[in-house]
A and B are shown apart, each in its own frame.
Chain A
């Protein structure tokens, strides 16, 4: 008899802001529902593919401080995104590789280095209710994920009961003295800037140019902005040279996207992130290009950002290029993972 009933992941320590995510709640913005989803989609895809899941299967996302979890059954896990120095019995877990762990394992998370957001893929997946087409946790509206909130101590997440084809973990040497088995190959980090290094973020200018003077635009382009620790999944809050507004009275709200650079009356920009609302009232000076999404969300508080204006054609050209590179990477991961079945 299998102990399916007890096949679960228990939160021993929740970390700072740990949630269940997928690619987001798409198609409900006209109802005022935020998109949410993994902040760094490529890293989410990689962590899932490394354990043989679909790229957008439910995943555990953590920010700055990772959770400590215990596993009641054997499974294959993989981390991607920022490196959170996970350990099992004090032994470092390889980052960006499929790792087979055994029932009773306690996976201990640490602090983020080279980035802010990390992802933990779990083979076979987790049982999370789908709300409006997505499992993504929307902590603002309290739905999705585990009870619509971030994980807390003693939360139990059930493994999905679907067949886990990765468990044989063939062609990998036995574990010897280690508490886990890992492949000898993996995926390198796709981004990475240590705190206090400068990150170049590209944006396309807004069409409503008259909200800002030329002088305000030049100031925005020629100065660096520091990521503050008030940044979260709603937005990346920056401080730096004040961006002057031509008029202070509020405009009617307009639709916003991931990467909309809003300028509130205090002149300190906020770049909207995954848990943004669907419309916003502050004037926008531009939109961060999709390709720079991972670099943007992965900047740690204290790092500096410099903005570079590009054309929409350049932005979409870069996106097509990145998409091709990612498709190639995903195909290579899938074929290596298949060898483990």
Chain B
């Protein structure tokens, strides 16, 4: 694994997402996985394919190769090629299982918390923990609470939650300790050869509040398809 550091602190996740795409497009031999996460990119590679006749190690060889390729490469932050995803979320308390508890911990009204959550634009910082699980950056500091002391064994699929300064979406039923604010029908991961995760590191995300009526209507729509 090789580390690549991205130095722009305001938009490091956007940068690492873009640079990861550029590296992917190089189609370098022996490279199996390119994994951006916040200000880093991991390049997983097979050293056996980078054995050289010189005394250089495979690591030196591939780092040298990337150095040459990336130094001449321009990565321009262009707002137009950023993906913006609007995700409908129902913040009804039947689905936002921890709204009431958070409201009493933070001494803010439930509607305050909901407003603080959906008024921000977020950036996908990393994908991990489970297939398609996104760590979204840009959470209001008021909502930066630690994990629940007692994690749930089954968090419902689509739960939109906060913990550790991030907000995230559970793509499937999973154990988890984040505080649940609402739920979405958006499908964040599909196990097919062409799909995978809906979002990539660096993508922008906004949450669009919907009523429980709209949420249920979307559900039955999904079931009819």
Residues of A in contact with B (beta carbons under 8 Å apart): 26-33, 35, 131-133, 140-141, 143, 207, 250, 252-255, 257, 277-280, 287, 290, 312-313, 316-317, 319-320, 323
Contact status A279-B128, CB under 8 Å: yes
- Whether, in the assembled complex, B215 has its beta carbon less than 8 Å from a beta carbon of chain A, the answer is no
Choice from A29, A132, A253 contacting B33 with Cβ under 8 Å: A29
- Whether, in the assembled complex, B189 has its beta carbon less than 8 Å from a beta carbon of chain A, the answer is yes
**A and B contact pairs by CB, cutoff 8 A, 25 listed:** A27-B32, A28-B33, A28-B131, A29-B44, A31-B132, A31-B197, A32-B127, A32-B128, A32-B129, A32-B189, A141-B130, A143-B191, A207-B3, A252-B39, A252-B126, A253-B37, A254-B37, A255-B41, A257-B44, A277-B129, A278-B35, A279-B128, A287-B1, A313-B59, A320-B48
Q: How far is the CB of B61 from chain A (nearest CB, A)?
A: 10
A279 touching B57 in the complex, CB below 8 Å, given contacts A28-B196, A33-B196, A255-B40: no
In the complex, A252 Cα to B126 Cα: how many Å?
9
In the complex, A287 Cα to B59 Cα: how many Å?
15
Please give, as numbers and ranges, the residues of chain A lying within 8 Å of B128 by CB-CB distance: 32, 253, 277-280
Choice from B44, B47, B131 contacting A31 with Cβ under 8 Å: B131
Contact status B131-A141, CB under 8 Å: yes
In the complex, A294 Cα to B127 Cα: how many Å?
29
Contact status B48-A132, CB under 8 Å: no
A250 touching B131 in the complex, CB below 8 Å, given contacts A30-B201, A278-B35, A279-B37: no
A252 touching B3 in the complex, CB below 8 Å, given contacts A31-B131, A33-B131: no
In the complex, A131 Cα to B128 Cα: how many Å?
18
Q: How far is the CB of A45 from chain B (nearest CB, A)?
A: 14
Q: Identify the closest chain A residue to B21 (Cβ).
A: A30
A30 touching B57 in the complex, CB below 8 Å, given contacts A207-B3, A319-B48: no
Choice from A26, A132, A140 contacting B193 with Cβ under 8 Å: A132
- Further contacts, 19 of them, CB under 8 A, given A32-B128, A32-B197, A278-B35: A26-B33, A28-B196, A29-B33, A30-B20, A30-B201, A31-B131, A31-B132, A32-B127, A32-B130, A32-B133, A33-B196, A132-B192, A132-B193, A143-B191, A253-B37, A277-B129, A279-B127, A287-B1, A316-B47
Contact status B191-A131, CB under 8 Å: yes
Contact status A252-B44, CB under 8 Å: no
Q: How far is the CB of B84 from chain A (nearest CB, A)?
A: 20
A252 touching B37 in the complex, CB below 8 Å, given contacts A30-B20, A316-B58: yes
Interface residue ranges of B31-67 to A (CB < 8 Å): 32-42, 44, 47-48, 51, 57-59
A30 touching B127 in the complex, CB below 8 Å, given contacts A132-B193, A279-B37, A312-B57: yes
Please give, as numbers and ranges, the residues of chain B lying within 8 Å of A250 by CB-CB distance: 164
A30 touching B58 in the complex, CB below 8 Å, given contacts A254-B40, A279-B128: no
Please give, as numbers and ranges, the residues of chain B lying within 8 Å of A133 by CB-CB distance: 193
Q: Identify the closest chain B residue to A142 (Cβ).
A: B172
Q: Identify the closest chain A residue to B1 (Cβ).
A: A257
Q: Identify the closest chain B residue to A28 (Cβ).
A: B196
A-B interface, 5 closest residue pairs, ranked by CB to CB distance from nearest = A255-B42, A279-B128, A31-B196, A31-B197, A29-B33
Q: Identify the closest chain B residue to A204 (Cβ).
A: B59
Please give, as numbers and ranges, the residues of chain A lying within 8 Å of B35 by CB-CB distance: 29-30, 255, 278-279
Q: Identify the closest chain A residue to B47 (Cβ).
A: A316
In the complex, A312 Cα to B60 Cα: how many Å?
10
In the complex, A65 Cα to B162 Cα: how many Å?
41
- Whether, in the assembled complex, B200 has its beta carbon less than 8 Å from a beta carbon of chain A, the answer is yes
In the complex, A312 Cα to B61 Cα: how many Å?
13
Interface residue ranges of B78-137 to A (CB < 8 Å): 125-133, 135
Please give, as numbers and ranges, the residues of chain A lying within 8 Å of B42 by CB-CB distance: 254-255, 257
Choice from B33, B47, B135 contacting A27 with Cβ under 8 Å: B33
Choice from A131, A254, A323 contacting B38 with Cβ under 8 Å: A254
Q: How far is the CB of B11 from chain A (nearest CB, A)?
A: 15
A31 touching B57 in the complex, CB below 8 Å, given contacts A141-B131, A277-B128, A320-B51: no
Q: Identify the closest chain B residue to A140 (Cβ).
A: B130
A253 touching B126 in the complex, CB below 8 Å, given contacts A32-B132, A33-B131, A279-B35: yes
Interface string of B130-147 (1 = CB under 8 A from A): 111101000000000000
